[in-house]
Amino acid sequence: MSLADTSFPTGKNYRSSHTGHGVGKADTVFENGHIYTVNSDSEWAEAVAVKDGFFVAVGSREDMIPYIDEHTQIVDLKGRFCMPGLYDMHTHPDLTLAPGYAGYLDVGLEDPTPEQVKEAILSYAKSNLDREWIFGQYFVHFQFKRDGIEANRSWLDSFISDRPVAIHDRSWGCILVNSKALELAGIDANTPDPRNGYIERDSITGEPTGILVDGAYALIHTVMPPTPAHALQRAYQEAIHYQTSRGVVGTKYVHVCENRLDALKVIDDAGEMTLRVEAAISWQDDIFPVRRRWELLAGERHYYRSDRLSANAIKFHFDGTQGSYSAYLSTPWPGESDWRGGLNLTPEHITDMVVDMDRRGIRVIAHCVGDGASDMFLDAIAVARKRNGPNGVRHQCAHATVLLDENLPRFAELNVVAEFSPVGWLPEPYARGREVLGKERFDRMYNFKGVIDNGGLAVMGTDWPVSNINCWIGFEAMMTRKNPWFDNDETFHGQPISVAEAIRVMTINGAHCMSIEETAGSIEVGKSAEMIVLDRNLFKINLQGNVHNTHVDLTIMSGKVVWDRNGELVDTPQQAPLKPENVQNFYERMEG
């Protein structure tokens, strides 16, 4: 083995004005495709040439000839339809997957008896001496009643009192903790109940019994060690694999903390981040604690920055949801005299925070379900533009479930992106649940068309696990407003958008939403070379039932093939690093 092989780590060839440019002509030419460029000056092409990760030529086969030399690899697209890669602008792989990978206690029995729960806790405690907390699932109230045992802290204390224990009830309605856990969390007779749950107490003394219900879990979660790094890394890695296999080249992981950013950086440093990620620092502490929030916002976030990773965003929950009737509406909820929903921050707090973040160059991603919440958000951005100048950060109105017609032009005026999550665009029971917003609001729901027709930018986010991480389902539904899996004519409220409009939503609008539209999001000379090769031409199919199950044959990221469904480039320089068997399919059933 030569010295060079062992002494130097793998080099990175960064590009700047005068360095990092590879020798010779194009590295790769992709030819013989039906390439939809999303560049209005030249909508279609049949070939592209890529050098150092950027498009150097887009046009006909003949146009490529000057870019080909002896080192250029030629990839035959075999007449397939190609387009820029997709952008999923709101999703949560960590929240969906990481808890399952954390190595928490799992009693592992269908209906464990108290004795079996006890044994499992003791055995876990013994084999996990390095972990202070014993946390996991589950116990069954019924079995405690059968044995005449009260499920409370005294029972846990009777066999384990030196280490904190927290175990979920099977229906996840409550968590049982021992006295040590209560002590570490500082929960006693004087602790107030949280808003969305309660501490079960002795009715005479007020002392906690050890049962914490719903929102009261958070009191324990804040003192527990964070989700382990390996679980977060695995969750993000699996999501990245999946998204890459479905043609996603840009995504936002909304709600992160310092630990999540660390996990993402590990993947990025290993060169395994096959898409661009904007991670939004969480403003909430009820999901997981963000201990270094202000350090991150002050500048620590820049430590994570690379071509693939950015944390220049913050995620707020301005209002609640339709499900809990807490979305903040412009007028009272149907049947209510004065209940407009809940706003989690005062309007003054929202305004000051938006102005402050805008000044720092941090994108505000604001969860706004109700038309009252988004109105408030747009008002706050108007103040920010006035105080900080008109060219500040492009902010993001997340979910935008229902918007006021008066606000549709403001998205363009104030340079705000309207992000829609597909939970409600198609007629199915869950979406029908959105109809609680009231008849008057139905046709204003998920108003892609209204935003687009008024010159604004609309994007989509899968919001996994609220809906499926496969963004092709939402891609189809925004064009049909019909259910992809049922062959019927039932249409959800509101207007569908055209194929061309939907492709822009899924591509260049996403790039705008990540503020990389100058360098990505369409197939144009000078832009980063992202392209996907599909098994069908979206302009030539009957949309309903035929888009959600689209197969992405190739995903090209910065000129490199990162996904090759059929292994067509195996044993070539463009062999994809990701093997199909390494991609976990989270929802096989829904893709057929």
* Binding region for another protein (CB under 8 A): 111, 140-148, 169-171, 173-174, 193-198, 200, 203-204, 213-214, 322-325, 333-337, 339, 433, 436
Contact between 123 and 289 (Cβ < 8 Å): no
At its nearest, how many Å lie between another protein and the CB of residue 182? Answer: 18
**Token couple for 458:** 């609309």
Which of 41/338 has CB closer to another protein?
Answer: 338
At its nearest, how many Å lie between another protein and the CB of residue 91? Answer: 24
Cα 378 from Cα 371, distance rounded (Å):
11
The 3-state secondary structure of 153-211, one letter per residue: HHHHHCCCCCCCEEEEECCCCEEEECHHHHHHHCCCCCCCCCCCEEEEECCCCCCEEEE
- Picking from 133, 132, 137, the residue whose alpha carbon sits closest to that of residue 120 is 137
Cα 186 from Cα 496, distance rounded (Å):
52
Which of 141/565 has CB closer to another protein?
Answer: 141
Which of 142/539 has CB closer to another protein?
Answer: 142
Which of 169/553 has CB closer to another protein?
Answer: 169
At its nearest, how many Å lie between another protein and the CB of residue 324? Answer: 6
At its nearest, how many Å lie between another protein and the CB of residue 42? Answer: 49
Cα 285 from Cα 103, distance rounded (Å):
23
Q: What is the SS3 assignment for 8?
A: coil
Non-local (6+) Cβ contacts of 209 within 8 A are 152, 153, 200, 201, 202
Phi/psi at 59 (5° precision): 170, -140
At its nearest, how many Å lie between another protein and the CB of residue 332? Answer: 11
Which of 140/275 has CB closer to another protein?
Answer: 140
At its nearest, how many Å lie between another protein and the CB of residue 215? Answer: 9
At its nearest, how many Å lie between another protein and the CB of residue 108? Answer: 16
Which of 170/449 has CB closer to another protein?
Answer: 170
Which of 101/325 has CB closer to another protein?
Answer: 325
- Nearest-5° Cα angle at 492, 372 to 239: 80
At its nearest, how many Å lie between another protein and the CB of residue 506? Answer: 30
Strands (E), 461-569: 531-534, 552-557, 560-564
Which of 71/146 has CB closer to another protein?
Answer: 146
Cα 192 from Cα 186, distance rounded (Å):
11
